[in-house]
Amino acid sequence: MRGPATRRDAPDEGRVVRILLVDDVLPLIELQKNYLKRTTCRILTARTGSQALQLCRLDPPDLVLLDAAMPEMDGVSACRSLKADPVLGRIPIVIVTSADRREECLRAGCDDVLIKPFESTAFLERVRRFVPLAERLESRIPVSCRVEFRARIGSYTAYTRDLSAHGMFLKSPRPFAVGTRLQMVIHLPRPRGGRPSEKPAPLPVEGEVRRIIRQAAGSRLLPGIGIRFVDPPPEALRVIEEFIAARRAR
């Protein structure tokens, strides 16, 4: 009996991986594509299990994410068909499903299960279990923005050292642990020379602490925390990207 697919079955590190997303609900496809947009993978899509089988037979991807509930052929049936194939059976399959169907999906032979609803962190963890994902270089600018944020232990205000569309470095000596979730409100400065009415509206964004730099004697590093945004609202992301583009264009 063939064992479960593992990371060693992934393509060479220098090649762009190909990921097939299968779901009949277009917004869920777009959500997963958004989670992958900062990586260099190539994304393929299908709307039914039968379409997924056709694509895999024509040009096998490196990973398949199948929704369990779809018309015509659902993800569980498609998984069984793929795993029964002597060649395609080596493709890692993650089935996206509700918690009550987890055991059914595992019995179908999938390599992992992703329970709905899910955030980007859980999604990317599943993907990286089977394929290497290289992140695209992101545009980061030095800028001082006031940020109000809340954690379980209290509410605070600090200023950014730099900002990107996906995160920031916050100048704060408070020792938040890596993984701490912060509820933030970002106050972008208005354009230079602009009227007070042109100041952008406050942007509510959730963040997760990913890096800590502590104050150390003799160190030139500024103490603070590196924060990665968690599923930022599309409108907030658009405003931040436009702000960064305008600053870089000067």
**Domains in the chain with CATH codes:** 7-130 (3.40.50.2300), 140-248 (2.40.10.220)
> Nearest CA to 210 among 107, 100, 135?
135
> Which range in 97-101, 139-143, 162-166 is most confidently predicted, on average pLDDT?
97-101
Give, to the nearest 10 degrees, the angle between helix 49-58 and helix 75-84.
30
| Section 6-32 average pLDDT | 76
Model confidence at 9, pLDDT cuts 50, 70, 90, reads very low
Non-local (6+) Cβ contacts of 125 within 8 A are: none
CA distance 205 to 54: 40
Residue 41 pLDDT: 87
The model carries a pTM of 0.58
- Please indicate whether residue 142 or residue 16 has the higher confidence score (pLDDT): 142
Of 74-78, 176-180, 197-201, the least confident:
197-201
pLDDT at residue 136 tops 70: no
CA distance 134 to 41: 8
pLDDT at residue 39 tops 90: no
| Section 60-85 average pLDDT | 95
| Section 111-115 average pLDDT | 96
CA atoms within 13 A on the CB side of 95: 28
